Amino acid sequence: MAATYRARDVLRHTFAVGCNRDCQALCDYLENRYEGKAMLCKNGRSALALALKAYFEPGDAVIVNGFTCYAVYEAVKAAGLIPVFADIDKDNLNFSVDTLEDALKTGPNHKKPTGIIVQNSLGNPMNITAIEDFAHKYDLTIIEDLAHCVGVKYPDGRECGTVGVAAAFSFGKDKVIDTISGGAVVFRGPTLHSVKTPSLRPRLSDHLRARFYPLFGATCRKLTGIHLGGLLMRFLVAIHWVEKSADNRLDLKRKISKFEAKLALKQFKNLRSSGELPIREFCLVKNREEVLKKLAHAGYYFDGIWYKQPVSPERYYKKIVFPEQDCPNSVFVTKHIINFPAYYKRECLMGAIAIVKDYVLEEEK
């Protein structure tokens, strides 16, 4: 999202000044909106790890969406837990009661999972009433991951983040709340274990990368037309001036930069007043690489697809023992999905939709 900022937005981000009062204001806002105790974190995976550590015993198994990001897997492992992947439905990219039933049977050494992480993939809300009933039936604790779904409402009218015992937030690149890095967790129910509030300041290198990424991103976008944008971005990554989202290290001791807390609060308030739902539309296509090339030629850069493997990005997939045989829909979707990044307004996507529609798989039309 930040890479598409207009000049004034880049300047606003680059020169934003925050203070302790802004961090407290963000905590107060989250506590009031989600009715719990808030902590500000280095990033979303750190927030999710804190939530998991607070409500589970080491060695417990928790059910995870079979179509997800490595950050979720990393958070589960950092909390000392075991991930159990549940397959998804192709129409909404989320697990269902049926696939949850299957996941219960495939737990490690047939160990019964004790929790569920609800992520509402790409902002598409799941049938939370059915998931709640399932959780009550099997005594499972629900943790909500709001990286994709801040402001979205479930079919029953409740807002995402108001159902589980905890809600974890990511403010990373291309998220609903995008300050380049940062995150938060809200504990909504009595915790099983106490966790320490992150208190260390961000590392200077992390702070500077978050500060200047919109400027670097916007510059690379401008240079794309003369085929220099990608080259410049690869150079910035190589010298560590830009960090890929998946490489943002988990750290339970560090907190968000003060200027990011200020920007995050403003985005929360703007999101609520705009009334727009931050849902990324998606479709399944044939010949995806050909589609992406045509989109890029037309000026649409869908870099955020990141779903080339069930647990993305691809470079981390080999670190995971993923049960592909138990999650066939997750595997199929990763080969065919195109999702429309949230940073494009609907009216700006009409040209992209016209390109994509000729490639949509027959079963999706």
Listed by start position, the domains of the chain span 15-187, 282-364
Q: Which residue has the tokens 């001791």?
A: 253
The pLDDT, as a whole number, for residue 76 is 97
Question: How far are the Cα atoms of 12, 121, 212, 269 from residue 9, in angstroms, in the given order?
Answer: 5, 28, 12, 17
For the domain made up of 15-187, the CATH class stated in words is: alpha beta
Q: What does the alpha-carbon distance between residue 225 and residue 127 come to, in Å, rounded to a whole number?
A: 43
Tokens of 4: 């598409």
Type and span of the H or E element at 100: helix 97-105
The pLDDT, as a whole number, for residue 365 is 46
Please give the chain's pLDDT, 365 residues, in tens: 544 567 888 999 999 999 999 999 999 999 999 999 999 999 999 999 999 999 999 999 999 999 999 999 999 999 999 999 999 999 999 999 999 999 988 766 667 899 999 999 988 999 999 999 999 999 999 999 999 899 999 999 999 999 999 999 999 988 889 999 999 999 998 999 999 999 999 999 999 999 999 998 888 877 876 778 778 888 988 988 888 878 889 999 999 999 999 999 999 998 865 545 555 778 899 998 898 888 888 877 776 556 788 998 888 998 898 999 999 999 999 999 988 876 666 677 788 888 998 899 876 54
The pLDDT, as a whole number, for residue 140 is 97
Cα-based torsion angle of the residue sequence 25, 26, 27, 29 in order, rounded to the nearest 10 degrees: 90
The pLDDT, as a whole number, for residue 218 is 83
Q: What does the alpha-carbon distance between residue 84 and residue 62 come to, in Å, rounded to a whole number?
A: 6
Is the separation of the CB atoms in 302 and 341 below 8 Å?
Answer: yes
What does the buried/exposed string (b/e) look like for 28-63 if buried means 16 or more CB atoms within 10 Å of the residue's CB?
ebbeebbebbbbbbbbbbbbbbbbbbbbbeeebbbb
Three-state DSSP at 319 gives coil
